[in-house]
Amino acid sequence: MKVGVFDSGLGGLTVLKAIQEVLKGAELFYIADTAYAPYGEKSVEEILKRCDDITRYLLETHGIEALIVACNTATSAAIKHLREKFPFLIVIGTEPGIKPAILKTQTAQVGVLATPTTLKGDKYQLLVNELANIKHVTLYEQACVGLVEQIEKGETHTKKTFEMLEKWLMPMKEKNVDTLVLGCTHYPLVEETIKRIMGNDITLIQTGDAIAKHLMCLSQNKGHKNEGELLTHVCYTGEINHLMIEKIINNKTIKVRKCAI
Q: Where are the alpha helices (DSSP H) in the chain?
A: 13-22, 44-62, 72-85, 98-104, 116-120, 122-131, 147-152, 159-174, 191-198, 208-221, 242-249
pLDDT digits (tens, 9 = 90+) for 37-49: 888 778 889 999 9
Residues 132 and 162 in one domain: yes
Residue type, 40: G
Residues 217 and 252 in one domain: yes
pLDDT of residue 93: 96
pLDDT of residue 252: 59
Q: The domain containing residue 221 runs over which residues?
A: 2-94+208-258
State how many domains the chain has. 2
pLDDT digits (tens, 9 = 90+) for 95-108: 889 999 999 999 99
Query: Among the options 51, 71, 144, 235, which is catalytic?
Result: 71
Per-residue DSSP letter, 258: E
Query: Among the options 51, 144, 184, 235, which is catalytic?
Result: 184
In this prediction the pTM is: 0.88
Cis check: omega of the bond before 38, within 30 degrees of 0 = yes
In tens digits, the chain (261 residues) has pLDDT values of 999 999 999 999 999 999 999 999 999 999 999 999 888 778 889 999 999 999 999 999 999 999 999 998 899 889 999 999 999 999 999 988 999 999 999 999 999 999 888 898 888 888 899 888 888 999 999 999 999 999 999 999 999 999 999 999 999 999 999 999 999 999 999 999 999 999 999 999 999 999 999 999 999 888 888 899 999 999 999 999 888 888 888 665 688 999 999
Q: How many CA atoms lie within 13 A of 3 on its CB side?
A: 28
Domain boundary among 180, 205, 230: 205
Domain boundary among 183, 205, 227: 205
Q: What is the CATH number of the domain that holds 107?
A: 3.40.50.1860
Determine whether 259 is an active site residue.
no
- Is residue 259 within 8 Å of residue 28, measured between CB atoms? no
Determine whether 71 is an active site residue.
yes
